[in-house]
Chains A and B, each alone.
Chain A
């Protein structure tokens, strides 16, 4: 009974705070001061300074992380018992998880997924895991009982890879691959399909997931079947207060007014995750923009014919799918030029663009 009362009490407190805040917003007049009243520093300077902020309480954070090290054996035990670990609490848990994996999970293969990146191709991840697993199972069995058909990679679809993962059986319960997922609630993994795929992956007997979440509402990503049967989470509250350095790269700075403009670095990361053909299409566009700095951009038809000539796309449909990808990640913007033609434009300065092309060709 007491528990029920406590829960009700909590919920009451929550709603009370919510309504208090709402009331406050209604009764007192909202401050009308503008952001532009602050003497904002130059965006470039802001970015540089933000990159070099020294971490407060570095000593305490180190001690905190060292405290967590005493938990490592317990975490390994939990993984071996068949649970998945879910880490939450304020602060970047990237360093903690990778330290745990590289110091305590040396007996197992470890694959790391960076869920905080704007795009993660889960099929490629699954493929890599399947390859690792088949390699591992093969080396474990003296007589290779894996049939040729099972080894033939790459299979056609995600389902095929998953059924391979389900199908591979080994008597040794302690033979598994650990998959570390930084920000399983990250932007690239937030959609239901990705979560379903991850859940199916987690329910394979040879896979253990160690994941971190940062968003307060991350729980909403999963239904009961996923929580209890597939991920089989054990929660660990491990606030680290470490800065979200890598995780924050893709977030705009609130005080940078033109923050919609992408930096060359984030653009490069997005492009690297795309197919080579898509990258080549982007390069054509970038070359055109550099050689025609005064124009509004490259007409879509021109891009199509140029890409087709070099066999980067086979049809308008493929080009459109590339363009959609570019637009989604704000790599490309469309506008109409004076002739009414639709033009594609990369919202980067010429210098940044040159740097980007250099990065891509490496």
Chain B
């Protein structure tokens, strides 16, 4: 079990052989098999309290208390304790995110619920039906209005569905909690293959019972009349309308609308493109049956900002990321994906990597729990971890030594201090940036910069001479400062109010904000004067210039306050001693775990095999190919010299030239007839590989390239050529 011991022990036989022993060979050709069952001896117990260590090197260690075992772990930190803290931290972050999303959706959700209640009342007022009436197969009423199906179009404002899956799940839960009968269908249920029967079956399974296997609406109708089910509305949620088969969805709408009086059904359709999407997929017949209302969700960018604020800027788990990681997450969000889901996944991976790389990360547990002094966290700090703590770069940089060890609790307290002044500063700038529709994500990334490059925009020349800093074109701080000058007195006043409430808990900044009030009053006073009806024109122009003057003074003052906040309090977490406990920095690890690049990496594996294998024989090669190199590597390197199609004959010949030692090269090059080859092989002394062996190796290398998807095999039309499929970048 202990990997460290197996690493230390040299493998008795060659790896490939030991991995593929004879007993396993049979398993190789079975489609699937059970490798082993969970060992009963070390079965994890249900209680989390029992701290189990998964890789205790010896049984005696496992008996020791967790604290001692942390000490003796010696670089192996993947203990159960760490997993437990990770789970605590992550569940805190996850719950925070869920709360934020719930808040952002709550308005729409309650809107949908109200709409359902109102419509349901209107249906019910038209008269309840008895059971026998309701199960009859012909419609009870024949007015056209009775065949209307109440439909809510929920516009998701995001083409990518993945974020909205959970939104619709939450919506379902919300409606369920309000007493509605809810079923959820997705585009998979609306496949042309299964037809309308498939989705009816799905509905019945969710409403009536999970094992039902009929597709009959009467079952639904009779279920609805049973056990007081009819007191509540029936809601069907289709989250990805655009991807459903239009004809199947139309059929379902037609069927359900026929039964609309007996079973009042409310259809909720998630629409990600535009509100006219149903017109494009549904048949005209079905469209006529819809009685649609429209609801709109918040956009991904808005949700993103709300999540960012709750996770990093408000008291949450304590976990945070460095400037570089934040930049990567931002560019991943903007360039690659644009979904909150992937952002959350990135965050989770960052958190996971933090816990697997940083042993002191277990102290985050104490940041997570409210009302607990971090000083108690130091109880976990044993000799080994203390040493590690004082070797952290942020500690050595600040020249903190073991002698100041008693200061550690103080430092931790500083780290934990929430509301953190810098988060207040970021939020204040965000408030100012809102007038220019700036995103919190951008502000967050720029202000995290430990080198504080944003301060250069406060030099007077920088504001005036806007062309001088080309690199700062997109700087948010600069944009905030420029936008300030365009603000109206009302906007300035609202900015001031929001700053006041943001800084309420932090007196130093709050004082500065309060100092702005007299200037604001001047501006307001100057602004009111021209409004007087009796004032002559001359006065008006004079007071106008006065207003401008006051405004200028005000904005200068505000930018001075921003500068003050940034200079004095914007201490990004990376500059604080011991920040490594909280802050994840390894952007490369995050990137490689999040985004595999099989296309690029597999090709570079082949072209630079010697650097991965670290073999002495091939690493000195320079640009020439050596016969000792991996066959597939040689072949792929040779393929680079060809066009998009490769002549198999030429490819084979050049492969052979590489494999056969140098002194025989000339011969094999000039003479390619079979006779000369045979003669040549007879007279070669240092055992050149036999023809059959070269051909077999060639075949295998081609096959491996084919498995990797780098080439396509010869077609019937072009039997002598393979096609290159991938081109290295």
User: Which of A230-238, A289-297, A331-339 is the contact stretch?
Assistant: A230-238
A209-224 contacts to B, CB under 8 A, are: 213-219, 224
A55 contacts chain B at the CB level, 8 A cutoff:
yes
Docked-complex contact A224 and B341, CB < 8 angstroms = yes
Whether, in the assembled complex, A361 has its beta carbon less than 8 Å from a beta carbon of chain B, the answer is: no
Taken together as a complex, chains A and B put the C-alpha atoms of A103 and B162 apart, in Å, by 36
Q: Tell whether, in the assembled complex, residue A57 and residue B697 are in contact, meaning their CB atoms are under 8 Å apart.
A: no
Is the C-beta of B29 less than 8 angstroms from some C-beta in chain A? yes
In angstroms, Cα B165 to Cα A110, docked, is 30
Q: Does A358 contact B (CB under 8 A)?
A: no
Q: How far is the CA of A256 from the CA of B648 in the complex (A)?
A: 12
Are A99 and B19 touching (Cβ within 8 A)?
A: yes
B371 at the interface (CB under 8 A from A): no
Interface segment, A23-31, A301-309, A347-355? A23-31
Q: Do residues A13 and B356 form an inter-chain contact, with CB atoms below 8 A?
A: no
Considering only residues 714-729 of chain B, those with a C-beta below 8 Å from chain A are 714, 719-722, 724-729
Is B14 interfacial (CB-CB < 8 Å)? Answer: yes
6 A-B contact pairs sorted by A residue (CB < 8 Å): A11-B729, A109-B36, A112-B34, A218-B709, A239-B612, A252-B713
Tell me whether A107 and B706 are in contact in the complex, defined as CB-CB below 8 angstroms, given that A117-B29, A120-B31, A132-B34 are known contacts. Answer: no
- Contacting pair A35 B719 (CB below 8 A): yes
Tell me how far the C-beta of B408 lies from the nearest C-beta in chain A, rounded to whole angstroms. 27
Within the complex, what minimum Cβ distance (angstroms) separates A145 from chain B? 13
Cβ contact within 8 Å between B341 and A228: yes
* Shortest Cβ gap from B348 to chain A (Å): 8
Residues of B within 8 A of A254 (CB): 648, 698-699, 702-703, 713-714, 722
CA distance A1 to B471 in the complex (A): 10
Most buried by B among A17, A28, A31, A39: A31
Q: A35-B649, A73-B55 are in contact. Are A62 and B14 (CB under 8 A)?
A: yes
Q: Which residues of B contact A112 (CB under 8 A)?
A: 27, 32-35
Q: Does A287 contact B (CB under 8 A)?
A: no
In the bound assembly, the distance between CA atoms of A315 and B411 in angstroms comes to 81
Contact assessment for B341 and A62 in the assembled complex, using a CB-CB cutoff below 8 Å? no
Tell me the B342-362 residues at the A interface (CB within 8 Å): 342, 345, 349, 352, 355-356
Per-residue CB proximity of A184-228 to B under 8 Å, as 1/0? 000010000000100000000000000001111111000011001
Contact in complex: A241, B630 (CB < 8 Å): yes
Q: Please name all residues of chain A whose beta carbon is closer than 8 Å to the beta carbon of B4 when the two chains form the complex.
A: 70
B693 touches A214 (CB 8 A): no
Q: Mark B659-698, 1 if CB is under 8 A from A, else 0.
A: 0000000000000101001000000000000011101111
Determine the distance from Cα of A270 to Cα of B558 in the docked complex, in whole angstroms: 77
Residues on A with C-beta less than 8 A from B692 are: 41, 45-46, 49
A37 and B677 CA atoms in complex are apart in Å by 13
Closest B residue to A269 by beta carbon equals B29
Q: Among the listed stretches A85-93, A277-285, A322-330, which one makes contact with chain B, having 4 or more residues with CB under 8 Å of it?
A: A85-93
| B: number of interface residues (CB 8 Å) | 126
Which residues of A does B touch, CB under 8 Å? 1, 3-4, 7, 10-11, 13-14, 17-18, 21-26, 28, 30-35, 37-41, 45-46, 49-50, 53, 55-58, 60-66, 69-70, 72-74, 76-78, 80-81, 83, 86, 88-91, 94-96, 98-99, 101-104, 106-114, 117, 119-121, 124-125, 128, 132, 136, 139-140, 156, 163, 170-175, 180, 188, 196, 213-219, 224-225, 228-229, 232-237, 239, 241-248, 251-256, 269, 272-273
Complexed CA–CA distance, A77 and B629 (Å): 36
Are B35's CB and A101's CB within 8 A? yes
The minimal Cβ–Cβ distance linking A20 to chain B, given in whole angstroms, is 8
Task: State in angstroms the CA–CA spacing of A111 and B35 once bound together.
Answer: 6
Q: Is the CB of A53 within 8 A of B729?
A: no
Any A CB within 8 A of the CB of B331: yes
Contact status A56-B631, CB under 8 Å: yes
Contact between A217 and B709, CB atoms less than 8 A apart: yes
A121 in complex: contacting residue of B31, B709, B719, CB < 8 Å: B31
* Chain A to chain B: the 9 pairs with minimum beta-carbon distance, closest first: A95-B19, A235-B596, A25-B643, A39-B674, A49-B696, A215-B709, A14-B729, A50-B696, A24-B643
